[in-house]
Structures are given as C-alpha cells and as structure tokens.
Structure 1
Amino acid sequence: MNKVIIILFLSLFSFTIYAQKSAENKLGTWYMYNGSHKVSEKFALKTMAHFRYFEAASEFQQEIYRLGVNYSFNPKTNVTVGVSYATADIAYDTPSNNLYEYRFYEDLNLKSKWGKFNAGHRIRLEHRFIHKNITEETTQSWIRYNLNIGYPLSKNWSAYVFNELFLNLDRGKRFAQNWTGGGFIHKLNNSIKFKMGYFQIKSPNNVLKRLQLGVILNTNLTKK
C-alpha cells in the first residue's frame, strides 16, 4: 500500500510540474486600454494598447498598439481604417523567435437592438506583415468576425458576452482562432469605463484561458 501511495504521489507531482510548464494550464491576463476620441460630427480617432501575459503579470506573451480613423454614416453603421504594431513571445517558458509585425486593418461596425440587449457586429480585414528574427518575413491576410452582446444591469453596470472567429486566408485550413467569453463593464462617468472579464482562445493546437482587465476612455474633442 505504501508503495502504491508513493507511486501515486510521484505521478501527481510529475503531473503538477508538467502543468506548471504548460501554457494551457495557466490563467493569463490581458491589461487593456481602448479609447475613442470624437474630433468632428462624423470622425473619431480609435486608440488601443494591450499588454498580454501567459500568467497574471509575468511570462510576457504580446503587446499591441493600434491607431485608427473612424467614420460614422449613422448611429448604427461606421467604418474604421487603421494601423497596428505588435511584438510577441510565441512560446511559454522557453526561448522563442523574436516576432514583431505591422498590420493594416479595415473594420465595418454594425449596431442593433434586440429588446434590452445591445448587439454589435464587427467585420475586420487585416493585412499582416510578420517578421521573425529579422531574417524571416511573411505576409498574411486575415478576416475576423466579432459578435458582442451587452445587457444593462443597472445605471452604471452592464454584462457582456462575445465570440470572435479568426480566419487566415493564406492557409489551406482557414480556421486560426476562436475567442469566446464574457464579463462586466462599470461606468465611472461619461468618459471612463472599467472592464473585467474572462475568455478562452481556441486554436487548432490548444486552448488558452485569459482574464481581461481594462479601461475604456471616450472623449469628445468637439466640446469646449
């Protein structure tokens, strides 16, 4: 019996060590800033900065910055054209290629009401220029569809769920990722909101679990 207990203990210990080294068994965290700054009746600047980790605040995974120009046709339909820069460590807890990329993107955003629910649809076309270890360069085209549904809980609180599908148009197997999650948004005032959520990133090879902690800043530069 003692030998069985020792074997089980060693097996559990070995599994724990393995789990600690596996990105799939870690709860990573994204620290996020998203901003929208109205500069005229129809135009706004979209800004974003994300810092993403395999763990709570260690094992860097990616940082990404985005700047776009948004044009509103009406309250329900708008488009954004912009550029983003990202750098990433593509492996967890081991040395990996030095990867960075530039992206040009175009968004079509549609809003609708489903009773008390607020639905947002975003279709994004991305053109990615990817550099690995300076010597390797590739160009990829991606298309993404995001569905975000919000529900007001009170004057200052709301809940949301979302799903986003990623397709790589330059691969034989188009499916690249699927993000599914939800959380809560707290409205501090007319300009600042805080976002707290959880989601999973599903890819052909693994499933990653992530917390979202963010601030949303909306300003109107046309007002004096």
Structure 2
Amino acid sequence: MRKIIFLFSLTFIIFNTQAQKLPENQLGTWYMYNGSHKLSEKYSLKTMAHFRYFETASEFQQEIYRLGLNYKFNPKTNVTLGMSYATGDLAYDTSSANLYEYRFYEDLNLNSKWGVFNARHRFRFEQRFIHKNINIDQFQNWIRYDLNVSYPLSETWSVYAFNEIFLNLNKSKRFVQNWTGAGFIHKLNNNIKLKAGYFQIKLPSKVLKRLQFGIILNTDFSKKTS
C-alpha cells in the first residue's frame, strides 16, 4: 500500500512539474514602447519596440520593432504605411528554431464616438517574410482587425478594452490567434502616458495569459504658428 501511495505521489509530482512547464500555465509579460511624432498637420511618424517574455522577465519569446509613416485625412480617418522587424523563440523552456522576420504593413484607422466611449477600428494588412534556421524562408499575407474602446475616468486616468483577430491568408484554416484584454492608462503630461493591462492570446490549441506594461510617447515637431 505504501508503495502504491509513493508511486501515485511521484506520478502526480512529475505530472504537475511538467504541466507547470507548459506555456499556457505561465503568466507572461510584455514590456512596450509606443510613440507618435507629429511632423506636420497631416504627417507623423509611428514608432514601436516590444520585448515579450513567456514569464515575468525570463524565457524570451519575441522582440519586435516597428516604424511607420502616418497620414491623417481628417480627425476620424488616417492611414499608416510601415515596416517592422521581429525575432523570436518558438518554444517555451526548450531550444527551438531561430526565427526572424521582416514585415511590411498598411493600417487603416477609423476613430469614432460611442456616447461617452472613444472607439478605434484598425484594419492591418501585413506581408511577412519569415526566416527559420538557415534555409527555411516563407512569405505570408496576414489580415488583422483590432477594436479598441476607451473611457476617460478623469483628466489623467482612462480605462480601455480591446479585441484583435489575426487571419493568415496563406493557410486553409485562416484563423491564427485572437487577443482580448483590458487595462488602464495614466497621463503624466502632454507627452508621456503609462499603460498597464492584462490580456489573453487565444490560439487554435491553447490560451496564453499576458501582462502589459508600457510607455506611450507623443511629440510634436511641426512648426508652431502664432
């Protein structure tokens, strides 16, 4: 009887240890920088750098850098053309193929008011040039749709919620992932905001949980007129 109990306990410990090593059982973290730099009444530069981890600050998953040129048609409609570079680790807690990719992207952003809420629709088209290991290269077309809704709590605090869906047009099963989350934004001054939130990444076979901590920088280099 003792042997059976011992074997059962050992099996449970081994299973529990292995389960804890699965990425869906970890609370990962994204550290984010996003910037908007106004060049003129119509044009601005969009910049971004994200550092993403399977855990709080370890088990690297991905880093991505983005640069784009934004053109504003009016307060409700603007577009962005840009490119990004990303490198990542495909597996958690084990070695995996080296991955990096270059992306070209085109955004259509639509802003609107839903009563007291601010809503933004972003349609993103991506052309991804993916390189794995030494000799594996792929080209993929992706479409993303992001709905972001925010509500001002005060002059310096606001709350937001978002949902973004990803489709891969080069696969028969086009659904890739879906992001859903919420958080808070604190305005320090006219140039800097801090962001903190939580979201889930739904994949075809699992769900990942992530914290977000970010800084938002807005600058204005356009000419001031009296």
TM over 0.5: yes
SS at match of 1:10: helix
**Residue 213 of structure 1, CA deviation:** 0.4
Q: Which runs of 4+ in 1 moved over 2 A?
A: 1-12
1:218 and 1:12 map into 2 onto residues whose CA distance is 52
Q: 2:128 matched to 1:128?
A: yes
**Amino acid across the alignment from 1:138:** Q
5+ long unaligned stretches in structure 1: none
Aligned pair in 2 of structure 1 residues 189, 5: CA closer, same or farther (>3 Å)?
Answer: farther
Letter in 2 for 1:64: I
The separation in 1 between residues aligned to 2:76 and 2:109, in whole angstroms, is 8
Provide TM-score, normalisation by structure 2.
Answer: 0.95
Query: 1:161 corresponds to which residue?
Result: 161
Single out whichever of 3-12 and 137-146 deviates more from structure 2: 3-12
Aligned to 2:116: 116
Q: Which residue number in structure 1 is paired with residue 141 of structure 2?
A: 141
2:197 and 2:4 map into 1 onto residues whose CA distance is: 42
Aligned to 1:215: 215
Deviations 1:38-85 (A, max 9, x none): 000100000000000000000000000000000000011000000000
- The residue that corresponds to 1:17 in the other structure is 17
Q: Quote the residue 1:192 is aligned against.
A: 192
Amino acid in structure 1 at the alignment position of 2:26: K
Partners of 1:12 and 1:37 in 2: CA distance: 54
Report the aligned-residue RMSD.
Answer: 1.4
Q: Matches of 1:73 and 1:151 in 2, distance apart?
A: 24
Counterpart residue number, 1:87: 87
Question: Residue 72 of structure 1 corresponds to which residue in structure 2?
Answer: 72
Distance 1:32 1:10 in 2: 41
Across the two proteins, how many residue pairs are aligned to each other?
A: 224
Aligned equivalents of 1:94, 1:143: Cα separation in 2: 30
Amino acid in the other structure paired with 1:63: E
Q: Is the 8 A contact 2:40 2:223 kept in 1?
A: no
Per the alignment, residue 171 of structure 1 pairs with 171
Give 1:3 deviation, angstroms. Answer: 6.4
Q: What percentage of aligned pairs have identical amino acids?
A: 71
1:109-159 deviation line (CA, Å, top 9, x unaligned)? 000001110000000000000000121000000000000000111111111
Deviates more, 1:41-50 or 1:214-223: 214-223
Which residue of structure 2 aligns with residue 42 of structure 1?
A: 42
